[in-house]
Structure 1
Amino acid sequence: MTTLRIQTIRQAGLILAFAVSISALSSTSSFAFSAEAQQMCTGDAFRLCSSEIPNIPKITACMFKNRSNLSAGCRAVMDRDYAAQKASKVASE
C-alpha cells in the first residue's frame, strides 16, 4: 500500500470513530452535541482532541478545555447546545 492510501484509510477511520463517539454522546444523558455541532466541530475535534478519540468523556472534556481555541462556529453551537441542555435539565427538576 502506498503511504497516501494508508493515510487516507487512517483518516477515514478517525472520522468514523469521531462520528460514532459523537453519536453515542448524543444518546447519553450527559452533554449532547446536536447534528449541527457535529458538523461544525469535527475539524476542531481532530485538530485539538484527536488523541482522545474514541473516549467520549475525554473528547467532551477536551473540547470544553480548548474552548478558546475552537472555531467561532463550533464554539457558538456548543454554547447554544450546552445552554439548551442546561435549561432542559433545570426545567425537569
Structure 2
Amino acid sequence: MRKTVRWTLAAATAFCAAVSAATPGQALSQAQEAADCQGDALRLCSPYIPDHAKIHTCLVTYKAYLSPACRSIIAPAKKRR
C-alpha cells in the first residue's frame, strides 16, 4: 500500500513538473508549481495517473475546483491589453 501511495505521489509530482515546464513566464519555480498542483491532481485526477496528458486534460476540465495556486498555473488569467 505504501509503495502505491509513493508511486502515485511521484507520478503526480512528475506530471505537475512537466506541466509547469510547458508554462513559460511563471515566476514560481518548477518545484513550487508541482507542489501547488499535486494535491489537486491526486484529489481530482487520480484515475489518470500516470498518463500526463490525461491528467492535464482532467485538471483543465476541473479548473473550477482547483486550488487558487494550481488554477493560476493550469489556467492563467488572460492579460489585458
Relative to the length of structure 2, the TM-score reads 0.70
How many correspondences in the alignment? 74
Structure (1/2) with the larger helix percentage: 1
Give the CA RMSD over aligned residues.
Answer: 2.6
What's the counterpart of residue 39 of structure 1? 35
Unpaired runs of 5+ residues, structure 1, are 1-5, 84-93
SS at match of 2:75: helix
Alignment identity in percent?
A: 29
Deviation at 1:12, TM superposition (A): 0.7
Is 1:48 equivalent to 2:44 in the alignment? yes
Larger Rg: 1
Is 1:70 equivalent to 2:66 in the alignment? yes
SS at match of 1:54: coil
2:15·2:52 contact (CA, 8 Å) conserved in 1? yes
1:37·1:78 contact (CA, 8 Å) conserved in 2? no
2:36·2:70 contact (CA, 8 Å) conserved in 1? yes
Which AA in structure 2 matches 1:49?
C
Deviations 1:11-57 (A, max 9, x none): 11101122233445556xxx448432211010000000001111111
Relative to the length of structure 1, the TM-score reads 0.62
2:40·2:67 contact (CA, 8 Å) conserved in 1? yes
